[in-house]
Structure 1
Amino acid sequence: MTKHRQPARWKYLINGLVLLAPVWFLYDRLTPAPLPAPWPEHRAGPVTAAPRPLDDGPPHRHDGMFVKDFRVRLCEGCAARIRSAHLRAAPAPPTIPADAAGVLHGHGAARHVHAPYPPQPGADDRLWLTVQTWDGEVHHASWPLPERP
């Protein structure tokens, strides 16, 4: 009579955890985090806009500069009045940049932007929306930057 060896239970437990790990990571990736609240709506000439950060985190590096991602909701029908629009954090209203840094892109009333943003915002820094209309006029709107802990 031979004695049968029972396999160790801990091996089955580890195998079960290894099989469940992909399910957990897939669930985690497919369950989005809630978006922060939108900032108040402000007017820039003939356009009203409300930016909404896509996360509460600090700015991240993108194309060699620090940026923060925003979704900007424009008023109904305002997109047709805009030739170009740029969003960036700065102490004073910026001019329209020669490059595409901070340009609002997308279609419809909700636009996306990688806004240039300082890694450590100063007390004078604000989020500036610069809008150029089709007749060449430039308008600005600004929001105070939230305090970082």
Structure 2
Amino acid sequence: MARIKNTIWNRYKYKINGLVLVLVCYFLYQSLFPQFPDAWETQAVGAFEITPMPYDLDPPYLHDGTYTKDFLLLFSKGKVNKIRQAYLNIGTEPLPLETLQMGDAGILHGSQHGQEVHAIAPEVLTAEHKAWLTIENWQGQQQVISWTLPDAFYQ
């Protein structure tokens, strides 16, 4: 029979392994049942009705040198394939399409069921900021719509 030294590791290794398994179950449950903030009001622009929904209430984060905030845009009316390009940015005014085309930040991507976007945002959100959606169709016509940010975004 082998002698086992009475160390802290030998004393608690089974309890630590059990704790790791419980934590895996907890994080699996959190990933299967995420909690999202409420969706914003639905607005119409052109042939589309769009409802934005933020993924969280956290402040913008730094992604590839640009501060971004993640959103899901639901198109309840209109066909997404009629859009040539669309961008979402947060600021005091919409960014020009020529500026937005320079990079890949802020561009909508996804399917007809939902468009995800990493919206270009300032480092700190204030009351004068709005969420601006710029849409260009295949004929070159541009449409811009905005939403006011909820109070939960300001810190």
Question: Cα 1:91–1:111, aligned 2, differ >3 Å: closer, same or farther?
Answer: same
Q: State the distance in 2 between where 1:11 and 1:123 align.
A: 53
Alignment length, in residue pairs?
Answer: 145
Q: Where in structure 1 are there 5+ consecutive unaligned residues?
A: 1-6
- Aligned position for 1:14: 12
Q: Which residue of 1 aligns with 2:138?
A: 134
Percent identity reads 28
1:48 aligns with 49
* Distance change in 2, residues 1:11/1:63 (3 Å): closer
- 1:113 counterpart residue number: 117
Measured in 2, the distance between the counterparts of 1:60 and 1:28 equals 25
| Alignment partner of 2:27 out of 26, 29, 32 | 29
Task: Find the counterpart in structure 1 of residue 88 from structure 2.
Answer: 87
Distance 2:49 2:12 in 1: 56
Q: 1:65: how far off?
A: 0.9
From the CA coordinates, give the structure whose radius of gyration is larger: 1
1:4 alignment partner in structure 2: none
Q: Which deviates the most, 136-145 or 30-39?
A: 30-39
How much is the aligned-residue C-alpha RMSD, in angstroms? Answer: 2.4
| Matches of 2:50 and 2:72, distance apart in 1 | 10
Unaligned runs of 5+ residues in structure 2 are none
Q: Partners of 2:113 and 2:77 in 1: how far apart?
A: 6
Q: TM-score, normalised by structure 2?
A: 0.81
8 Å Cα contact 1:44/1:129 also seen in 2: no
Shift of 1:134: 1.3
4+ runs deviating over 6 angstroms: 10-13
Q: Partners in 2 of 1:79 and 1:111 — Cα distance? A: 9
The alpha-carbon distance between structure 1 residues 24 and 61, as it changes in their structure 2 partners (threshold 3 A), is: farther
**Displacement of 1:11 after TM fit?**
6.6
